[in-house]
Structure 1
Amino acid sequence: MLLLALDTATPAVTVALHDGDRVLASSDQFDARRHGELLLPAVDRTLAEAGCALGAVTGIVVGVGPGPYTGLRVGLATATSFGAALEIPVHGLCTLDGIAYAAGLDEPFLVATDARRKEVYWARYADARTRTSDPAVDRPADIAERVAGVPAVGAGAVLYADTFTGVRTDLPEHQSAAALAALAAEKLAAADEEGFLPPLPLYLRRPDAQVPANYKVVTPK
């Protein structure tokens, strides 16, 4: 097993190579506006550090979000392209699940990431491997009573610490492809194929760009 994992659903442009037992190499950069520029060089750098060729990879792992449109599409398009070119499977995982796995908690908690527009993407977990709710997008004020005092991890929880009053600043704040790859390796070793998602974007809301309401339609004379 040789898994190439990547995720661009958050400001983190993160890549890792995992052999089924351990992470061989990884790259983590943070830039919400340069996913397209940073991702492929990060893949090349990670493969070079591990001394592996892309052709040796046996599976792709990709974070499917939730996340903003542009960044999320970069990772998914790259993952599906690699999968098609190499004729290997592409395994989708919820981005929040990777952060939860990295947190390593064995008690109920929340994961929240910054969704911009003064909103967060978030989900509940029974432990680091078990999500108990579908990912959602909400304004922090609208969920304050539901999340107050519950242990919470992620950049969204840190950003809105007045709402996520149980925020754990000692735990990982950002997505890590290394954690995503390790979670996928566990699922594959356990033959838990149902634990994966199709490599399709999990947006949860409409895009920022909209067709103007009074758009003039031009028809041939």
Structure 2
Amino acid sequence: MLLLTIDSSAGASVALTRDGAPLDAWRTEQTTSHAEVLAPAVQRMMIGAGVTGADLDGVAVGVGPGPFTGLRVGLALAHALAEAWRKPLHGICSLDSLALRATDAGVEGEFLVATDARRREVYWAQYIRDEKGSRLVRGPFGASATDLPELPAVGAGLGLYPQELRPATMDEDPSAWVPDAAELGQLAEGALVGELHGVLCQARPLYLRESDAQVPVQMRQGGS
């Protein structure tokens, strides 16, 4: 199975995966240039891999949660490409990427994924790894780091709120982790072949709160 996966929930990333393994991947940590860099990155990657839209089995996209402007760029591009190529489009929670990375790094039991939600908040979800495998327990939500359960955590929220959150035990520092398209592609492929359940969702953005940009009151009331 050949998938193109896009995520713009934090930085921006693109990946081509075949049978869950990355053929090529690209990412940037910048959060203000998604509209300028995502489409060219997809084009370069597909040309470099000798792949066309007709070769794909589908397009997957991280649905967030994430900031309004950046998140919608990746979703809009994924929708446009899937429609143009007439390929199925699959949504997947962007936080699942970090949950996969954590379990691959050996994290066991219950843990949190926490990313930057700005406004002195984090986007977070609770996961578990046990004898039944890895799965989402609850979330995602947006909240102050002080309101999260007292569980080990991974994700950029750790670096922002080290007094409120404690890192999961592992050999590497998880405090700078952000979602990655290659991991989301691996998860999407696993769900599509029936190995994972409850992973895919509709390709609609998980904003979790109102946009910072608001329509003026007089315009909402029909005034001039």
TM-score (norm: length of structure 2): 0.88
Report which stretch shifted further, 34-43 or 186-195: 186-195
**Aligned with residue 180 of structure 1, among 184, 203, 211:** 184
Q: Alpha carbon RMSD of aligned pairs, Å?
A: 1.9
Query: For residue 106 of structure 1, what is the amino acid of its counterpart?
Result: E
Number of the residue aligned with 1:209: 213
Number of the residue aligned with 1:137: 142
1:202 match: secondary structure: coil
Name the CA distance, whole Å, in 1 between partners of 2:177 and 2:164: 16
How many residue pairs match? The answer is 213
Q: Where does 1:20-169 land on structure 2 (aligned, <5 Å)?
A: 20-104=19-103, 105-127=107-129, 129-143=134-148, 146-147=149-150, 150-167=151-168
2:123 match: secondary structure: strand
Structure 2 CA distance for partners of 1:7 and 1:58, relative to 1, 3 Å: same
Query: For residue 132 of structure 1, what is the amino acid of its counterpart?
Result: V
- CA shift, 1:103, in A, is 1.8
Report which stretch shifted further, 85-94 or 121-130: 121-130
CA deviation profile, 1:127-160 (whole Å, cap 9, x unmatched): 28311002000011233xx23xx22111112211
1:3 is aligned to 2:3:
yes
Structure 2 CA distance for partners of 1:117 and 1:44, relative to 1, 3 Å: same
- CA shift, 1:213, in A, is 3.5
Name the CA distance, whole Å, in 2 between partners of 1:106 and 1:130: 12
2:76 match: secondary structure: helix
CA deviation profile, 1:90-129 (whole Å, cap 9, x unmatched): 1100010111112223321100000011110000001283
Name the CA distance, whole Å, in 1 between partners of 2:196 and 2:184: 15
The answer as to whether partners of 2:20 and 2:185 remain within 8 angstroms in 1 is no
The answer as to whether partners of 1:4 and 1:18 remain within 8 angstroms in 2 is yes
Query: For residue 182 of structure 1, what is the amino acid of its counterpart?
Result: Q
Name the CA distance, whole Å, in 2 between partners of 1:44 and 1:160: 37
Name the CA distance, whole Å, in 2 between partners of 1:21 and 1:92: 16
The answer as to whether partners of 1:64 and 1:201 remain within 8 angstroms in 2 is yes
Name the CA distance, whole Å, in 2 between partners of 1:114 and 1:194: 24
2:9 match: secondary structure: coil
Alignment identity in percent?
Answer: 40
- CA shift, 1:191, in A, is 6.4
**Aligned with residue 173 of structure 2, among 165, 170, 193:** 170
Once superposed, which parts of structure 1, at least 4 consecutive aligned residues long, lie more than 4 Å away? 191-194
Query: For residue 2 of structure 1, what is the amino acid of its counterpart?
Result: L
Larger fraction in strand:
2
The answer as to whether partners of 2:20 and 2:190 remain within 8 angstroms in 1 is no
- CA shift, 1:70, in A, is 0.5
Name the CA distance, whole Å, in 2 between partners of 1:129 and 1:52: 32
Name the CA distance, whole Å, in 1 between partners of 2:5 and 2:212: 28
2:207 match: secondary structure: coil
Structure 2 CA distance for partners of 1:205 and 1:21, relative to 1, 3 Å: closer
- CA shift, 1:22, in A, is 1.3
